[in-house]
Amino acid sequence: MSASASKGAGSPGGGSVGVAAPGVFARKSSGLVRTISTFDTFFYCLVQLAIPFVIFNIAVWAFYPGANMEIASLIALAAAVLEGITYGLFISVYPRSGGEYVPLSRATHPLIGFIASFSQTWWQTYVTGTIVAFACSLGWAPLLTMIGLQTGNQGLIDLGLWFDSSWGWFLFGSIAIGLFCYQLYRGMRTYFRVQRWLFALALAGWVILIIVMLLGYVGVFDFQANLDKYAGAGATAGLLEAARAADVDLEPAFSWPATLEFTIWPAYLFLFAVLSTAFSGEVKNVSRGQLIAIPTAQLVGGALVILASLTARLGIGNQILLAASGVPPEQSPLAYNWLTMLASVLADNILLTIIISLSALILTTYVAASTAIYATRGLLAWGIDGMAPSKLADVSEKHHSPTYAILVVAVLAIGVLAIYSFTDLFRWLAALAPMSIVFLLTTVVGALFPFIRRKDYENSPAKVEVAGIPLMTITGVLGGIIMAYMVYRALVDSTFGSADPRQLAIMIGVFVLGGVWYFVARAVRARQGVNMRARFEEIPIE
């Protein structure tokens, strides 16, 4: 469908949009096709939600004495669902690929939309390159080292430790990036077919992990006896003693301030489901697909995350979890204190070890695949608008995929992976703060949209009201208030890492670079005789 036939588009200068002038866009169609179902979108949102990253939540729990992980998760989940509803309604006005870029550039100003998109696209590319390394640390390493312990095979233990090394990260990560980018090149239908089956199997494994911890709670499994079996008599007592020596509070009283501070950790999971808006131009149910998929995935994923932390506390014990997260690694009786390793010790069964660790491995690897999708669609949208080389907008006639955008993301992601693997430059970077700023911005603009773009709102699928008040305004304001607090916490929390001066400098630098890119691109296109103002007065081709 061409831009001239689209309804509900907004011009950045005010007023409703009319029919596009001939030649505003060089072609009538982007080449993408609407093949993605609401169910596939839901699965993608679950992937982006990064369920296995609850492992990190548990791993830092001791640094927030008195925090209740489940209450913090419920607060973060409430903010995320409000954000998800706002996004789902907002994107229904601008059902195009590119994530926040199209809604923000058309509803506010192109500069705002591009800077936000530039930051999101960079950080999603960065995450693609680093999460494949996490897959080694959370999946391969616990899997192989634990099987090595269970079978007495030192070779497997050494192989597991190799996977969690610079060369292990880089080689596995490069192969993984190559494989899922090839899937993306073959088209979204192929990608979602593979993701659907692998992710379903991995989710089943995650449910088994939860069941294992419940069995520990009712006494079928005994963590202390099994830890002593693998690490020597008195290993559990030694772990607790080492934690006390490190001033870890093993019996903290409940604290509301600590719980509120801890919310940024589950937020790092729940907020990201909205990134399915990256491929809105390829979703079949253009008016309601995202609205259904995003909050539903947030609720389902939120339940799985909360169950994981709750059952871990029940099955393994609060004191052991706090001790495992608070002691220095060299004082731990295990090579890894990740939840996957602890659950494998609890179960003391090779088959369950394989299921639990492979689940975390697949779930984590496909988070990287989902972030790659966002990055490719961001580049595609820039190419269509003329904000980047037009080659990035080229779409394969056979596979209906943005070939050059995928190639660029693959190369950049492997470059990020190499830097992460062989230097310390990217080890301390946390992506939540800059990305949550864009989430907050989009949620606030969505809340204001019915008033700043009244005519476009009235003629769009986003017009859903409660007692005469736009639903997206209600959810946007409520969600925005909670998210603003989380953005603040992400910027000042030393444990999370965003407060590092280098992190703040790079975060600001990416936003600034996006602004510079915008003005340079506009100047280049102006010299080429391209009417960029006219382009931004229409929604892009579909």
Q: What is the CATH number of the domain that holds 398?
A: 1.20.1740.10
138 DSSP 8-state letter: I
Identify the pLDDT of residue 373: 96
Reduce the DSSP state of residue 151 to 3 states and report it: helix
Q: pTM for the whole thing? A: 0.91
- 73 occurs within a structural domain: yes
Domain assignment of residue 40, yes or no: yes
Would you put residue 497 in left (φ > 0), alpha (ψ -120 to 50) or beta? Answer: left
Give me the pLDDT at residue 495, please: 83
Q: Tell me, what's the pLDDT at 109?
A: 96
Q: What is the biggest distance separating any 2 CA atoms in the chain, rounded to whole angstroms?
A: 79
Q: Cα–chain-centroid distance for residue 502?
A: 22
Asked whether residue 268 is domain-assigned, the answer is: yes
Strand segments, DSSP code E, in 303-424 are none
Cα–Cα distance, 540 to 6 (Å, whole number): 9
CA–CA distance, 131 with 269 (Å, rounded to integer): 13
Written as tens digits, the pLDDT of the chain (542 aa) is 333 333 333 333 333 333 334 445 555 677 889 999 999 999 999 999 999 999 999 999 999 999 999 999 999 999 999 999 999 999 999 999 999 999 999 999 999 999 999 999 999 999 999 999 999 999 999 999 999 999 999 999 999 999 999 999 999 999 999 999 999 999 999 999 998 899 999 999 999 999 999 999 999 999 999 999 989 999 999 999 999 999 999 999 999 999 999 999 999 899 999 999 999 999 999 889 999 999 999 999 999 999 999 999 999 999 999 999 999 888 889 888 899 999 999 999 999 999 999 999 999 999 999 999 999 999 999 999 999 999 999 999 999 999 999 999 999 999 999 999 999 887 666 788 899 999 999 999 999 999 999 999 999 999 999 999 999 999 999 999 999 999 999 888 888 766 678 888 889 999 999 999 999 999 999 999 999 999 898 888 77
User: Is 419 within the bounds of a domain?
Assistant: yes
Does residue 310 belong to any structural domain of this protein?
yes
Domain containing residue 135: 3-8+24-536
- Separation CA 24–CA 17 (nearest Å): 13
The Cα 84–Cα 56 span in angstroms is 23
Alpha-carbon gap, residue 526 to 236, rounded angstroms: 69
Q: Into how many domains does the chain fold?
A: 1
Six-digit token pair at 89? Answer: 């309604």
Provide the token pair at 235.
């290993």
Q: What is the pLDDT of residue 14?
A: 35
Residue 351 lies in a domain: yes
The amino acid occupying position 39 is F
Q: Given this model, what pLDDT does residue 11 score?
A: 37
Cα angle, residue 85 at apex, residues 83 and 88 outer, rounded to 5°: 105
- pLDDT (0 to 100) of residue 429: 63
CB atoms within 10 A of CB 374: 28
Closest Cα to residue 130, out of 496, 408, 370, 418? 418
Question: 240: helix, coil or strand?
Answer: helix
Is 357 among the domain residues? yes
Own/partner pairs, 519-526, CB within 8 angstroms, 24+ separation: 521/386, 521/387, 521/388, 525/386
Residue 382 lies in a domain: yes
Distance, CA of 262 to CA of 60 (rounded, Å): 9
